[in-house]
Amino acid sequence: MKEIADKIKIVLVETSHPGNIGAAARAMKTMGLENLTLVQPKDYPCVEATARAAGADDVLANAAVVETLEEAIEDATYVLGTSARLRTLRWPGIDPRKAAQESVEAVTNGGSVALVFGRESSGLSNEELSLCHKLIHIPVNPDYSSLNLAAAVQVICYELRILLESDNQPVVVDDSGEPPASAGDMESFIQQLEQTLTHIDYLDPDNPRKSMPRLRRLFHRARMSRNEVSLLRGILKQIGKIT
């Protein structure tokens, strides 16, 4: 169980209240998760975070602090964002139980997972959401839907705990033996794709259309292996050479 939990990290983006960071660390540790990454926390380290961590301060002490979400998820092969708002679910949406299942599946298939949580005031931006494979929405009372950040972390980590403790964990679905591409691999590929499409005049840099977000979504959905990404990058390189 621990081997799987260790391949799953919680990412908190620009958290304003240090108390929420501490409470999230506590929520994680009670459920057996320990990897925390903070993207530009507003006020951290901070005594309030440590106080609210209530003994989970080792999770805080080991937390990585980074500048961008791209950096936080670079090594992850499966990235799930969270959204308080249903209307952002233009992106493929899942509930916490399915998210736990897909996360464990991704790890069982040789990958690692990042679960991304947004700002207290405004959640995740569209650009940040577009870096995610899918979005998790925790079902809530439509008349009072405001869930605290650390409470949201608790719900997701609880579902993981239940699944990891149960006997019917997802089976391995990918028997290709090829390691999955990481978010960093995908990002480099998407950048090269954009450059090539601009080079061959498919994209007009002065008048960007919706093509890149669409292509990003398509390639995310494909869940490519590292070798497949290399194959596509090789083709793009060749296009660049002859045009």
Other CB atoms closer than 10 Å to residue 111's CB: what's the count?
20
How many amino acids of this chain bind ligand SAH (CB under 6 A)? 18
Q: Is 138 in the site for ligand SAH (CB under 6 A)?
A: yes
Q: Is the dihedral of CA 227, 126, 136, 153 positive or negative?
A: positive
Cα(7)–Cα(3) distance, integer angstroms: 7
Q: What six digits make up the tokens of 43?
A: 């006020």
Contact range with ligand SAH by CB under 6 A, out of 35-43, 103-111, 145-153, 232-240: 145-153
How many degrees, rounded to 5, is the angle at CA 91 between CA 89 and CA 95?
60
Element (H, E) at 105: helix 96-108
Q: Which residues contact 103 (CB under 8 A, 6 or more apart)?
A: 8, 78, 80, 113, 115, 160
Rounded to 5 degrees, φ, ψ at 207 are -140, 65
Is the Cβ of residue 76 or residue 190 nearer to ligand SAH in the bound state? 76
Shortest Å, Cβ 109 to ligand SAH: 24
Shortest Å, Cβ 125 to ligand SAH: 10
Q: Is 147 in the site for ligand SAH (CB under 6 A)?
A: yes
Is the Cβ of residue 21 or residue 193 nearer to ligand SAH in the bound state? 21
Shortest Å, Cβ 190 to ligand SAH: 24
Here's the x/- map for ligand SAH, 222-241, by CB under 6 A: it reads as --------------------
Is the Cβ of residue 22 or residue 180 nearer to ligand SAH in the bound state? 22
Angle between helical axes of 149-165 and 96-108 (0-180°, round to 10): 60
Shortest Å, Cβ 71 to ligand SAH: 18
Q: Is the dihedral of CA 85, 106, 164, 63 positive or negative?
A: negative
Is the Cβ of residue 27 or residue 229 nearer to ligand SAH in the bound state? 27
N- to C-terminal Cα separation, the chain: 51
Q: Is 82 in the site for ligand SAH (CB under 6 A)?
A: yes
Q: Which of residues 149-208 bind ligand SAH (CB under 6 A)?
A: 149, 152
Is the Cβ of residue 11 or residue 186 nearer to ligand SAH in the bound state? 11
Here's the x/- map for ligand SAH, 36-75, by CB under 6 A: it reads as ----------------------------------------
Q: Is 142 exposed, middle or buried (0-12, 13-18, 19+ CB in 10 A)?
A: exposed
In the complex, the residues that contact ligand SAH under the rule CB under 6 A are 82-85, 117-118, 120-124, 136-138, 140, 147, 149, 152
